[in-house]
Amino acid sequence: MTAVGLVTRPVRVALLVGSARDGRLAPDVAGWFARVAARRDDLVLDVVDVAEHLLPASLDEADPRAAALRPRLAGAEAYVIVVPEYNRSVPGPLKTLIDSFQTEWEAKPVGFVGYGLGMAGGVRAIEHLRQIFAEFHCVGMKDVVTFPRVLEHYDAEGRFAADADGAEAAAKLMLDQLTWWATALREAKAARPYGT
């Protein structure tokens, strides 16, 4: 319910799984995040796995793979990026996917879930993504979810984030911000299209 008592439709959030490497941990981290997000009734997730949508380095917008993905990204009202930190930055296939689209990202909120083998926990990759998405006039969420020393977040049975109370609280805070911004921008764009 909004302040005036009207029911608002759930925010459409695209969850980008940002690694395509063999042996990647991104599906585990994204799966955990998707389970946390699924408890909410104010958003619906569409999971977009970079490994399933490898796009050409030419950034050819007519490429059939880009054309097939375009409606899903354009239809999203917000994004959450699950990103590992590779050499202090973002994975190449994720950057190619981002660069393959323009207006699809424009004036939407973006949240970040980072992880890494070291203590930085993906923060440097997240900071690069903030700069990249600022180019599209996106609103990057201040609060993020990070998993430093990501391998320590697996339990003895190999389940990810078995003890993740702090991470769940961080995810809730970030999603509260993300849905607020998405709803505010939805209403603003309904009153006046962005860029006019």
Q: What are the backbone dihedrals phi and psi of residue 184, each rounded to the nearest 5 degrees, phi first?
A: -60, -45
Residue 130 identity (one-letter amino acid): R
Instruction: Map tokens 């909120």 to a residue.
Output: 109
pLDDT tens string 19-72:
999 999 999 999 999 999 999 999 999 999 999 999 999 999 899 999 999 999
> How do the residues of the chain divide into helix, strand and coil, expressed in percent and rounded to 5?
40, 20, 40
The pLDDT, as a whole number, for residue 35 is 96
What does the alpha-carbon distance between residue 86 and residue 156 come to, in Å, rounded to a whole number?
Answer: 26
- Look up residue 165 and give its amino acid: D
pLDDT digits (tens, 9 = 90+) for 116-148: 999 999 999 999 999 999 999 999 999 999 999
Over residues 146-177, the pLDDT tens digits come to 999 999 999 999 999 867 789 999 999 999 99
List alpha helices for 11-82, DSSP H. 26-37, 64-75
- Residue 71 CB: number of other CB atoms within 10 A? 10
